[in-house]
Amino acid sequence: MIWDILNIIGTLAFAISGALIAREEDYDVLGVYFLGFTTAFGGGLVRNLLIGIPIENIWKQDYLFEFAFLAITSVFIWPNKWIGHLKKGVVFFDAIGLAAFAIQGANYAVSIDAPFIAVIVAATMTGAGGGMIRDIFAGRKPMIFRSEIYALWAAFAGFIIGLDLIRGPYATIFLLIVIVFFRILSVYFKWNLPHNIQNDNNRSLDK
The answer to whether the beta carbons of residues 57 and 48 sit under 8 Å apart is yes
Query: Does residue 9 register a pLDDT over 90?
Result: no
Domain carrying residue 44: 2-206
Q: Please state the pTM of the whole predicted model.
A: 0.83
Q: How far apart are CA 126 and CA 105, in angstroms?
A: 6
Q: 89 or 63: whose pLDDT is higher?
A: 63
Q: 14 or 195: whose pLDDT is higher?
A: 14
Over range 161-188, report the average pLDDT.
92
pLDDT digits (tens, 9 = 90+) for 64-81: 999 999 999 999 998 877
pLDDT digits (tens, 9 = 90+) for 90-102: 888 888 989 998 9
User: pLDDT > 70: what percent of the chain?
Assistant: 88
Tell me how many domains the chain contains: 1
